[in-house]
Structure 1
Amino acid sequence: MNGPDIDSSPDMRTEADPARISRIVSYLMSKHLEIAVRGQTGEILGRYRLTRAALPGGKVSEEVPLDGNCTIFMEGVLSEGASDRLSASSEIRVEFASGGTTLFFDTVCRMASISGLHVEMEAEFPRSLAIKEARRSPREEPKIPEFISVEMGPFRGDDSTVYTFRVINTSEHGLGVLIPEDSRAFLSLIKAGDIIPSLTLFARDSFIKVEARVAHVTQIKGGREKGNFVMGLESRELIESSRTRP
């Protein structure tokens, strides 16, 4: 695949122990953290979340076994025009970035079920995983605060409702917002690809207003938040406004 080799960069360390890899993958799965999936030429095929592991005999688990004897499932939203580049036997790269650290691994897509822009994918358990620490000066590194909640709305002129939801993760890819299952009125107003022209993000000691794009709205299949939804938000304004000034 194009992009950095798993073991070629001096800034990168490689993890090949199945037990350690399984703990990392299980962590990403349990926290519903957003990952990027890239194709063979490095293009982003979409934003996903790891959802479960399939064990021998057909058993499904929300944790990855320590021996790595499983396949992993992920769900998400395809990038525009990516459906013809994702199929069974496709080589893919799974990538997660946060706080200047990037985790990634190469694997093979075994199955991709595509409906519109939504996709569910089954992939092989990775044989190795790379961890890369970015070498950037403080002036270049985005300083993104840990947001607690987000406020948005109203969305229609005849409706003055303002919605407030909990932010469950923040990364360089964007934000993950928890939408309760009973918030059907809100869910009917938004879809992947929509632009929210103004929303307010609250941290412990600050807040910021930004424009954001809805990257995906995905229902959580298991765990404590089963049945609720995660809305992924992307905001270039957030990254730019969070950079340290000279």
Structure 2
Amino acid sequence: MSTPAFDPPYVSLDQRDSTLRRSGYALLSPDDVCRWLPATEPELTSLHQAWEDLPPDAYLKDGGRYRRRRHSCFVVDGDRVASTPHRAHWQPLEYNALHGGMQRWFEPMQPQTLALPVWDRILVRLGEAVSSLHGARPWFVEAHPFRIDTTDGIGRPTPEGAHRDGVDLVAVFMLGRHAIKGGESRVFEAEGPAGQRFTLLRPWSLLLLDDARVIHETTPIQPLVAGELGWRDTLVLTYRRDGFQGD
């Protein structure tokens, strides 16, 4: 029996900040994301093309081959975006019991991707959102383009389970799904029983998470048709004050 796909609880742009403050998360529709950035469909399609060249994740402790990714870092200060020297992705065990405490050196995002005008626009807009929530300051940003596929028969978007990331804001863009079932997003209060579950189906939906207040996870994916490779593409951006984790 397949898991039902619960409708995403989209909020309007003018409700974004109030919903994020009240609930700890807010979900924007693709149409509102395009208006907010602003971005055209061709611009976003051009950015998504980079997901066709993501190297395998060599650090999966479960031995899986289902995750491909890159990793780059930036500092966003108002409308200024600066790339930082390439660095390892590091999280404490407190936030990632499976892969925490490891220096994970992923390949950086490609220069031609970072040169796209829409890229800086995304980073600046999200900086405005987290500044509205926590006050304006420079933000230390880690970018994670992910492709989770069904090479192993099952793909795990969050093998560490429900978690926080140890940052101020987590932004999850759904870029696309192909020939899969599953991949349900789940958001829960960090200090309470309330939660929400939904499936992101539309490309460029955006889930914003106040990381101090909620924990999140995504359920495994499986192929929709036996023997056909399926995949799920996302862009995850984390914003943190006062420096990168591991500094």
Q: Give the TM-score taking structure 1 as reference length.
A: 0.23
Query: Which structure: greater strand fraction?
Result: 1
Query: Which structure: greater helix fraction?
Result: 2
Structure whose alpha-carbon radius of gyration is higher: 1
Q: Give the TM-score taking structure 2 as reference length.
A: 0.23
